[in-house]
Amino acid sequence: MRVGIPKGLLYCKYHPFFETFFRGLGAEIVNSEDTSKNILNMGVKVCVDEACLPVKIYHGHAASIKDRCDLLVVPRIMQVHRNEYICPKFCGLPEMIVHSIPGMPPVTSAPLYMHSKKSLFQWCVSSGSAITRSRSRIRHAFELALKAQNSHKTGIMDQKDITVMLAGHPYIVYDAFLNMDIVNKLKAKGIGILTEEFAPCAASESQVKKLLKKPFWTFQRNLFGASAALYEQKKIHGIIYLSSFACGIDSVVIDLIRFHTGDFPMLVIKFDEHTGEAGVDTRLEAFTDMLERRVLNEDNRPTYGQCLYSRQNPV
Amino acid sequence: MYSLGIDVGSVSTNLVLLDNNNNVVEKLYVRTRGKPMEAVQLVLSEIRKKYDSKQIYSAGTTGSGRMIASIQIGADIVKNEITAHAVAAIQTEKDVRTVLEIGGQDSKIIIIRDGVVTDFAMNTVCAAGTGSFLDRQAERLGIPIEEFGDHALKAAVPVRIAGRCAVFAESDMIHKQQLGYNTCDIIAGLCDALVRNYLSNVAKGKEILPKVIFQGGVAANSGIHRAFEKALNMPVIIPEHYDVMGALGAAILAREKVNRERAGTRFKGFSVSESSFKSKSFVCSGCSNQCEVVSVLENQQPVGYFGDRCGKYNQFTASATG
């Protein structure tokens, strides 16, 4: 039995669970390759036009391995936290995939409530039934999968003289093709990076509590809470928010952060199918130029028109 | 000794020559027409008629074509448009606090406090409300772009045009025009729509304080200028060299850098306007990324590469431009 796991969307967060579970049942795991131009082209070709870029890329990943596996794992992730939802596109992902890509093998379609052990187990029973009917084998593989998942950590913590928070949905932050390798671009400029995973939990929670209403989306809780906490604790000099074009959740979250942080430097970069990097490079370069000058000038406000490019402060 | 600045933008390529006191002694503005390398050679061959290569103290490039131009001419500094525009704005108006800049494909707002850039924003993926859109509408209406603004000023009652998206704006304009609205009123409506879109999109949440200066090619459009003054309810200054501010900034930054490093200029000389520049693109098959790599050839010799993600080729470029 070959089980295909596309490397798109929340794969970066949850792949140990799925891979360990199916490997525990004796299946062979077939992964798609890292996102590439081929994957993007395939995804754009089959996916509905209105979807966001990460969903299109997910379609490309699924299409690239569909002929090499007997079962494709398309997680229908409903919730990650109790009483909160993630993006609505996840709820209908299996249907989208099956109806957009011709010639699909069977796909997993049971819903996943990641915060509930019971729901996860039910998913395993339903999805594992294609391989085995033995409850005990499923139970064993499930326990291994949970363990693997719990020891899986993501995030970037690399603090330097100038550090930015790299915010955005995980599948944008951790997909180097989609985000035009922004992590290495920042590294090359000597800029430190913090991601939402390294924001102090308690401080994030207390920021979220200050909102007018409880967040509906988990992405909103994580991104707003982390940005606000890192900003309040002065751990960062700016925020770079990576967003895919036409993301509904981001349209709310970006403004929530802006409203909270006032004139704190924040750069929003929108990604779509562009592969020309000049636009991103210009924005990053200008943003880091600005941060460098702001930091250097914090204690030493210049007289008019003098400090922008002095010898002590080369551009 | 002069400092040379070249701004290779999507619509125009500009060159300025500054004297030792950063006064503009020459400026050239040509259309890029999708051929950045030819445009750079064209401006260089023009300037060559009056100046000698030895008179050039420093050279800088900016604009979306800054990398390719720097390889061509041997630039001392390659700087993004935001920084270049901000430097030029501060040089021109010492106490500027807001810079509105609308170019061919980009529009940006730069917030300056006490002579330091404190915030900026650029348009996102959509190019609605930039010069190339105005260009296209002028062409569709058969009005030379130079006269577009004057038509707007003649309007009695500006018509409301949807400004959110270039495609929507165009269809709205066509519908209004087919209903018989006056062309001047439609153009004035378009100017208002562009400004509305700029203020609610690019400039959203930014504190616009005077002095406000408006630069970039679109500043030539008196209709947009008036629409800005009306919407902001404050005077908007258009600097004398509004159309070449990027190049001006690049020239200033280049001089600073050569002063700082004391190693002389890397400028290759005006003779490069005679070299034959070609570019050749190929798909690298080194990995699954399949990057589209462009190599720039000067007299058949490769002088630079772009477009590869891993740096296999553009390492070479980096060492060439420093």
Residue pairs between chains A and B whose CB atoms are closer than 8 Å:
103
Is the domain of B179 the same as that of B139?
yes
Selecting from A268, A301, A314 the residue whose C-beta is nearest the C-beta of B114 gives A301
Chain A residue nearest residue B90, CA to CA: A305
In terms of Cα–Cα distance, which of A223, A197, A291 is closest to A86?
A223
Is the domain of A212 the same as that of A73?
no
Q: In what order do the strands lie in the sheet with A238-244?
A: A157-158, A192-194, A163-168, A238-244, A266-271
pLDDT for the residue A305? 38
Is the domain of A13 the same as that of A127?
yes
Residue B244 is classified by DSSP as G
In terms of Cα–Cα distance, which of A158, A170, A24, A153 is closest to A90?
A170
Quick check: is B123 in a domain?
Answer: yes
> What is the extent of the structural domain holding A274?
157-297
Q: Residues in chain B with pLDDT < 50?
A: 320-322
Tell me whether strands B98-102 and B107-113 are parallel, antiparallel or unpaired: antiparallel
Is the domain of A106 the same as that of A192?
no
User: Over its length of 315 residues, how does chain A's per-residue pLDDT go in tens digits?
Assistant: 999 999 999 999 999 999 999 999 999 999 999 999 999 999 999 999 889 999 999 999 999 999 999 999 999 999 999 989 988 889 999 999 999 999 999 999 999 999 999 999 999 999 999 899 899 999 999 999 999 999 999 999 999 999 999 999 999 999 999 999 999 999 999 999 999 999 999 999 999 999 988 999 999 999 999 999 999 999 999 999 999 988 999 999 999 999 899 888 999 999 988 877 888 888 999 999 889 877 776 544 444 333 444 444 444
pLDDT for the residue A302? 40
Beta bridge partners of B17: B4, B26
Quick check: is B255 in a domain?
Answer: yes
In terms of Cα–Cα distance, which of B8, B47, B198 is closest to B121?
B198
Lookup: tokens for A222: 């994580």
Is the domain of B48 the same as that of B72?
yes
Identify all chain A residues contacting B104, using CB atoms and an 8 Å cutoff: none
- Mark B231-246 as b/e (b = at least 16 C-beta within 10 Å): ebeeebbbbebbbbbb
User: CB distance B124–A303 less than 8 Å?
Assistant: no
Say which residues have a Cβ less than 8 Å from residue B91's Cβ, sequence separation at least 6.
A305, B22, B248, B249, B252
Is the domain of A121 the same as that of A203?
no
pLDDT for the residue A304? 39
Q: How far is A38 from chain B (nearest CA, A)?
A: 8
Lookup: tokens for A260: 């909270």
Is the domain of A225 the same as that of A290?
yes
In terms of Cα–Cα distance, which of A245, A267, A278, A281 is closest to B165?
A245
How many CA atoms lie less than 13 Å away from B70 in the CB half-sphere?
Answer: 29
Helices (H), A35-155: 37-46, 53-65, 88-91, 93-100, 117-128, 135-150
Selecting from B83, B95, B260 the residue whose C-beta is nearest the C-beta of A304 gives B95
Is the domain of B161 the same as that of B61?
no
**CA distances in angstroms from B20 to A8, A52, A134, A136, B282, listed in the order given:** 56, 52, 85, 83, 43
Angle at B91 between CA B94 and CA B239, to 5 degrees: 85
pLDDT for the residue A253? 94
In terms of Cα–Cα distance, which of B31, B203, B201, B231 is closest to B131?
B31
Residue A174 is classified by DSSP as T
User: CB distance B82–A289 less than 8 Å?
Assistant: yes
Is the domain of B23 the same as that of B48?
yes
Is the domain of B20 the same as that of B107?
no
The residue from B238, B256, B290 where one domain ends is B238
> What is the extent of the structural domain holding B61?
2-85+246-273
pLDDT for the residue A297? 64
Is the domain of A173 the same as that of A289?
yes
Task: Answer whether B85 touches A (CB < 8 Å).
Answer: no
How does DSSP assign B115-164, residue by residue?
Answer: TEEEEEEE--S--TTSHHHHHHHHHHHT--HHHHHHHHHT-SSPPP---S
In what helix (H) or strand (E) does residue A78 lie, and over which residues does it extend? strand A76-79
Question: Are B279 and B295 a contacting pair, CB within 8 Å?
Answer: yes
Is the domain of A54 the same as that of A176?
no
C-alpha–C-alpha distance, residues B159 and A215, integer Å: 41
Helices (H) and strands (E) in chain B, counts: 10, 13
Quick check: is A308 in a domain?
Answer: no
Is the domain of B183 the same as that of B130?
yes
Helices (H), chain A: 11-24, 37-46, 53-65, 88-91, 93-100, 117-128, 135-150, 170-173, 182-188, 201-209, 218-232, 248-261, 278-297
CA-atom Rg of chain A in angstroms: 21
ipTM tops 0.90: no
pLDDT for the residue A308? 45
Task: Answer whether B290 touches A (CB < 8 Å).
Answer: yes
Is residue B211 reached through a cis peptide bond, with omega within 30 degrees of 0 on the bond before it?
Answer: yes
User: CB distance A282–B80 less than 8 Å?
Assistant: yes
Is the domain of B49 the same as that of B73?
yes
In terms of Cα–Cα distance, which of A153, A154, A230, A166 is closest to A192?
A166
Is the domain of A9 the same as that of A146?
yes
Is the domain of A184 the same as that of A213?
yes
Identify all chain A residues contacting B118, using CB atoms and an 8 Å cutoff: 263, 265, 290, 294
Interface test with A, best of B116, B260, B281, B317 (most A CBs within 10 A): B116
Is the domain of B102 the same as that of B179?
yes
- Could you give the number of structural domains in chain A? 2
